[in-house]
Amino acid sequence: MTIAMTAMLIWQFLLLAGAVAAAGSVLARSADQIAEATGLGRLLVGSLLLAAVTSLPELSVDIAAIRSGYVDLAAGDLFGSSLMNLLILAIVDLSIRSGRKMLSREGAAHALSATLGIAVTSLAGLAIVTADKIPAAIILGMSGWSWAILLSYLFGARMIFINQRISARLAAESRSDDSGLSQGSSARKPSFLLSAIIFGAAAVVLCFTGPKLAHVAGALAEETGLGGTFVGTTLVAVTTSLPELVASLTAIRIGAIDLAIGNAFGSNAFNIVLFVPLDFLHEGSIFLSMSSAHAVTAFTVVLATAIAVLGQLYHGERRLPFIEPDAFLMLFVVLGGLFLIYSLG
């Protein structure tokens, strides 16, 4: 009976993982077409639009967890998903064997979205550390920390939008100054309506299959005896990060590196914003109800993201071939953080 149940769960897991992978791939391709059709740029579309959609499975899973009273499971999923996104970014960066590294100067434009992720994650970490020391101010059903996270994200998203509008205008002016290039670059743009429809359809598939995949992963962890362990909770975080992984790999494959980086950093910032609706649904401050150990995960995310920003902004000319110290350091910090979390139980 147990073997049959495990086999059925594995089969369901593989089918749902395939559906999520297909949806993530379609999302990345259609997001790239939307960026080209609208002229908004891959960075903006990846940081805001694609990041929000690929983070939606976490919202559904964590709302169910909050309603069932599993606050730590929801918090662990959101912070753990951010760690997984950074792990994906570091590994993909190490796998690119070209002079155009993701965490080097070519990715410096993403420092703004990465810094936004640092800001909102730091606020969440501070909320956890001070939850039992400072009285929670509940405003319209949410704690003051949640309002701070929401307002910071909206302000940061506006900054990213304005920054990309300025960059797009300067790029357009530069192209118009070169008449030869402007005449030769009149390639037909993809249809925005068709791309938006495909993107919306893939988003619906992801929103339907993503939470089911996470639930099956949790059931599989329980069935195999891993449900109450670090491995079991990590499995759920990995499955909810699968859309970001597939979308990033697809973006790299089609040459849209800006889309991949924007998706990783944007998803991390959006993951923290998801604490806002969870706090609204939870009675009292959600940060007061979760384990203080989640602060370790939060500040590990902050440290690893800061390393990525340093790698983006560093302008050194000499870089060792086949060695990316920033990506290796990110990898070390993320894995070290996972070990600390495991040690804390």
pLDDT 10s digits, 238-255 = 777 778 778 878 887 887
CB 110 within 8 A of CB 116: no
User: What is the pLDDT at residue 322?
Assistant: 38
Beta bridge partners of 143: 138
pLDDT at 54 over 50: yes
Residue 1's pLDDT band (cuts 50, 70, 90): very low
Residues 6 or more apart whose CB falls under 8 angstroms from that of 168 comprise: 39, 40, 41
Higher per-residue pLDDT: 167 or 53: 53
CA distances, 262 to each of 259, 291, 336 (Å): 5, 30, 24
Write down the pLDDT at residue 184: 45
Overall domain count for the chain: 1
- 310 vs 5: CA distance, rounded Å: 48
Q: What is the pLDDT of residue 126?
A: 93
* Distance (Å, whole) CA 46 – CA 115: 15
Cα distances (Å, whole numbers) of residue 341 to 66, 76, 109: 21, 10, 32
Highest mean pLDDT: which of 98-102, 151-155, 205-209, 307-311? 151-155
Give the type of residue at 39. Answer: G
How far apart, in whole angstroms, are the C-alpha atoms of residue 24 and residue 238?
14
- Specify the amino acid at residue 176: S
Residue 30: give its domain's CATH number. Answer: 1.20.1420.30
| pLDDT attached to residue 205 | 85
Long-range contacts at 155-161 (CB < 8 A, ≥ 24 apart):
156/112, 156/113, 156/115, 156/116, 156/119, 156/120, 156/269, 157/48, 157/116, 159/112, 159/116, 160/43, 160/44, 160/47, 160/48, 160/112, 160/113, 160/116, 161/44, 161/48
pLDDT in the model for residue 172: 67
DSSP state of 39: S
Q: Which residues lie closer than 8 Å to 120 by C-beta, 6 or more apart? A: 149, 152, 153, 156, 269, 272, 273
* Region of poorest pLDDT, from 23-32, 162-171, 262-271, 310-319: 310-319
Question: How many Å apart are CA 211 and CA 92, to the nearest integer?
Answer: 25
Residue in 34, 33, 30 with CA at minimum distance from that of residue 22: 30
- Reference 74, options 108, 17, 124, 2; nearest CA is 124
Residue 152 sits in which domain range? Answer: 2-344
CB 254 within 8 A of CB 101: no
Closest by Cα among 256, 327, 195, 190 to 43: 256
**Out of 26-35, 146-155, 267-276, which region has the weakest mean confidence (pLDDT)?**
26-35
Coarse DSSP helix, strand, coil percentages of the chain, rounded to the nearest 5 percent = 80, 0, 20
Q: Which two tokens stand for residue 246?
A: 């597939």
Predicted confidence at residue 96, as pLDDT, reads: 64
Which runs of E-coded beta strand occur in the chain? 138-139, 142-143
- pLDDT of 304 reads 92
| Nearest by Cα to 31 from 17, 45, 44 | 45
pLDDT tens digits, one per residue of 196-252: 898 889 888 888 887 777 777 767 766 666 554 455 556 666 777 778 778 878 887
Band of residue 103 on the pLDDT scale cut at 50, 70, 90: low
